[in-house]
Amino acid sequence: MGEAKRKRRLMEAEWLPLFSVDTPVRVAISRPSARLKSVPDYEAKVAHVYASAEEPPICFNLACNNELRTVQDVHMFIRTDNNQNNLICLCVCAECEKYSDNELIGFVRILNERSGLGLDRQVPGTAIRVEPELPIGGWTGTIAGIPVTVECKKDEEICDAALVFSDLLERGKLKRFLSLRQGIGNCHAIVRVFREELEDSKIPSQHRFAFRRGCSVLAQSAEDPLGYHSWIEFDDWVIEVAHGALQPIIILRKETYYSLMQLTNIHDIRERMK
């Protein structure tokens, strides 16, 4: 075997299947005693995860809520395709480093199951990103490090939806939501995590929130021909949180949103909670 081929095989051996069924999803664990060879620039990638987070990420073990304020020693990478184009970095806290590789892989499976990350499904190659654009004036700014755009007519006060949402963000009540939003979550998973954290926050205006799903022409793809999309509502407003990790969160009137998104089959989300 040639040297190059041998090296490639060694590097490939670092990637373990996440599921027993055949999907391209693989995981690789980097520990001080066994650093990865196939992710050479991983130090920079990990540092980026911490540097780009306004709110500290939390340990990916769902049973643990430790915040990760400094770069940790143990990292796990998830590869969603064979080309290493889509690497996801997850970190555990110093306490959870004691778990074995198999236990850590188990945590990723639980995370996938609980948050509906969709890792066990094929990543759609032709998915269209849902991208509503505000046709009218609005306020644009940053709340707790997150860019937010709010529909707001001239001389109109900022809506309660934006005030309540920004209050939750600023008081650090949406940590898991923010971590997921920066990462791999799809709209359904992001909305679900928001709902769980909202329920935990026990704010008085909780009953004014609603969680809806519908079909949008903008979200249709070969893999999802009906274009299912999920979003958050507050009174007569929509909080669109899941149309791309780098896109601002948009808060706009329900009627504006429904017509922009060309929504049909709108219904309340009813799903099993924890």
The smaller minimum CB distance to Zn ion, of residues 101 and 167, is found at 101
Residue ranges in the chain assigned as alpha helix (H): 3-13, 42-51, 101-115, 160-170, 175-182, 187-201, 254-261
Footprint of Zn ion (CB under 5 A): 59, 61, 64, 66, 93, 96
Report in angstroms how near the CB of residue 178 gets to Zn ion at its nearest.
Answer: 17
**In the β-sheet with 263-268, what is the strand arrangement from edge to edge?**
138-143, 146-151, 249-253, 237-240, 228-234, 209-216, 263-268
Residue 107 beta carbon to Zn ion: minimum distance, rounded to whole angstroms: 9
Kindly state the smallest distance separating residue 241's Cβ from Zn ion, in Å.
25
What residue has token string 């990723």?
108
CA distances from 101 to 15, 19, 62, 75 (A): 12, 14, 16, 11
For residue 56, the minimal CB distance to Zn ion (Å) is 12
Closer residue to Zn ion in complex, CB, 193/215: 193
- Nearest residue (CB) to Zn ion, 72 versus 186: 72
**Tokens 């359904």 belong to which residue?**
188
Q: From the CB of 19, what's the least distance to Zn ion, in Å?
A: 23
Nearer to Zn ion, 13 or 110 (CB): 110
Place of tokens 């998104």: 261
- Choice between 68 and 249, CB closer to Zn ion: 68
- Residue type for position 88: I
Residue 258, burial from CB neighbour count under 10 angstroms (0-12, 13-18, 19+): middle
In sequence order, what are the residues at sequence separation of 6 or more whose Cβ sits closer than 8 angstroms to the Cβ of residue 121?
23
In contact, 61 and 92? CB cutoff 8 Å: yes
Q: How far is the CB of 94 from Zn ion (least distance, A)?
A: 8
Using the minimum distance from each CB to Zn ion, give the nearer residue, 93 or 232: 93
